[in-house]
Structure 1
């Protein structure tokens, strides 16, 4: 009986293997497209151009950065400003340079292979001032949990000018002071495969730079021209410590074209993913190829006036206790320290309005 059962299992396994037909989808391979994200503002240190190439569908990599390019902007008086590569694929002018309201700016790019690109001119429009910023502590039950989501909601008010076609974008940058700049793993005993993580103290003062992510917070005055914009939600600061929370709030002007582009991007990001959603269309911006006019180029080069307001959130006055995130213990003697590595996400330079 066992022999019969074994034979039947063998036959069934053979049939199953023979019934599986491998599917080799006919995937169309598209050439990499240049992606540009550029901005000129009237604030020093807030001007940048980042460039990358889209990865092929069959590639396991993320977008490839566009290195060793020649990048510069010209204004309507034909004054040229060079943007130097400060990190792979990231280009900035001299830290003291800034744009001027009322001027138009055009981006020019020449890649290392000789291909050239140019944006349409973008007008740097003025932006209305921020009237007030206020903070409200709020806690809500997390979905499907007995735990609470605790945080500080930040809002702002402003008075929109009576002129039409005023468009706005809001963003923020948080600087988190660090105790540890790295971690080290030490075996719990000689020859053990179990490790304990210890924090390496920063050799100098150091901050993590945390920017808004995947957030397109924009508005137009089409429906409220000349009236107030009230309780505009800007961010939610986490309640993970009693330490002050430092954040710089940015309010930018947008041209009508930039607002239209960002609105389309926002719709694609927020509305795609459901069963009956339409497939996202390729969204082109205001940049085109000079050498190959039919080439697909993605992204946008914008010009914005910017108002920056620092904000300190006193988290010690919250009516409940914070959700403290435990850090690893410090390194046991003999101790060493870790360097604060300068990058887009970390700096040893104190924020402009830091006062602690």
Structure 2
């Protein structure tokens, strides 16, 4: 009887203590730090024919990754690109896509060795100007190859193809590169796939994109071959051809440093060895006060391209089905694509 009374007493004390704590909790609304919006510039002129796009936004609070808030789009700006021979072309805003301005003049095309400047005059009268950006030349992509890799043991994941690039670095030092790649890969449109006369049925195609910040320099390989450099990883959801395109861009040293810092910040994991977070400032400044910088970067690059078709004919279809069955059905979503045609024409 005494033990029961003690237990009840302790329970009552604990309950009173908990209620006391709850009654002392006050909601505190921390003030949101207000930072003056900064202009963000994303643009690139290349040796490819126009159009060239420039995206202009302001920094601010985003509520969605897929939709840009109306107050953060830069509309009504006067945007021009000038070359080092005195020619200036005005970009026109896209009426259907806010914040985008396009250079569509087919007679204005990036040329290796020439320099280009972006000017942005906002509705409030402020004018931002980029530093001159020279287009370095870029070597051709000599070869693309693909290496098949089995998925590691553990949670089910698809096998992969790694796309590998070969190119020849020029003998002069100070060459900088950025690689971009995409591919159309076959996917199961639903159910377990079947084959008839060697053709995979019930197949659609989805797009796979590589990172935009894959950069490198010739600091350790100047004048030598850049061989079997990985530029894209493709999942193997089912058998069939994979259609790959790789672009090799030249960069100025300033652009290389910008994208290197950008990638370092993007891949932070929170460890003690991570670089300190900071705003990565680009090459666009306020004309009346050059200490005030915009974010983002206006670049100029030469481009070489190469395409590849990966046939997948070395994979045993029967063993593939035994391993994965219908595991990767419908991974490409509800918007199926069609298989490309004439992929290697002129490439």
Query: In structure 1, what is the equivalent of residue 195 of structure 2?
Result: none
Q: Which one of the candidate residues 90, 93, 111 is aligned to 2:103? A: 93
Q: CA deviation at 1:270?
A: 2.6
Relative distance call for 1:207 and 1:318 in structure 2 (3 A) is closer
- The yes-or-no answer on 1:129 pairing with 2:140 is yes
Deviations 1:81-131 (A, max 9, x none): 232233222222217453111110001112344332110010011101112
Cα distance in 1 for partners of 2:51, 2:312 equals 28
State the SS of the aligned residue for 1:251.
strand
- The yes-or-no answer on 1:44 pairing with 2:42 is no
Relative distance call for 1:220 and 1:117 in structure 2 (3 A) is same
Asked if structure 2 preserves the Cα contact closer than 8 Å seen for 1:272 and 1:280, the reply is no
State the SS of the aligned residue for 2:258.
helix
**Quick check: 85-94 or 291-300, which moved more?**
291-300
Cα distance in 2 for partners of 1:137, 1:207 equals 19
Query: In structure 2, what is the equivalent of residue 67 of structure 1?
Result: 75
Q: Which one of the candidate residues 227, 251, 262 is aligned to 2:259? A: 262
**Structure 2 unpaired stretches of 5+:** 190-203
Counterpart mapping for 1:79-158 below 5 A: 79-86=87-94, 87-94=97-104, 96=106, 97-142=108-153, 144-145=154-155, 147-158=156-167
Q: CA deviation at 1:220?
A: 0.9
Query: In structure 2, what is the equivalent of residue 321 of structure 1?
Result: 320
Aligned length: 309
Cα distance in 2 for partners of 1:25, 1:240 equals 48
Task: Calculate the TM-score normalised by the size of structure 1.
Answer: 0.74
Alpha-carbon RMSD:
3.5
Asked if structure 1 preserves the Cα contact closer than 8 Å seen for 2:165 and 2:227, the reply is yes
Q: Which one of the candidate residues 16, 27, 35 is aligned to 2:40? A: 35
Asked if structure 2 preserves the Cα contact closer than 8 Å seen for 1:139 and 1:148, the reply is no
Relative distance call for 1:153 and 1:45 in structure 2 (3 A) is farther
- The yes-or-no answer on 1:20 pairing with 2:25 is yes
Query: In structure 2, what is the equivalent of residue 225 of structure 1?
Result: 222
Relative distance call for 1:290 and 1:208 in structure 2 (3 A) is farther
**Structure 1 unpaired stretches of 5+:** 181-205, 332-337, 341-345
Asked if structure 1 preserves the Cα contact closer than 8 Å seen for 2:208 and 2:234, the reply is no
**Quick check: 235-244 or 59-68, which moved more?**
59-68
Relative distance call for 1:169 and 1:241 in structure 2 (3 A) is same
State the SS of the aligned residue for 2:299.
strand
Cα distance in 2 for partners of 1:130, 1:257 equals 23
Q: CA deviation at 1:8?
A: 5.6
Asked if structure 1 preserves the Cα contact closer than 8 Å seen for 2:186 and 2:239, the reply is no
Cα distance in 2 for partners of 1:81, 1:207 equals 39
Asked if structure 2 preserves the Cα contact closer than 8 Å seen for 1:272 and 1:278, the reply is no
Query: In structure 2, what is the equivalent of residue 199 of structure 1?
Result: none
Deviations 1:239-263 (A, max 9, x none): 1132322221100111111111112
State the SS of the aligned residue for 1:310.
strand
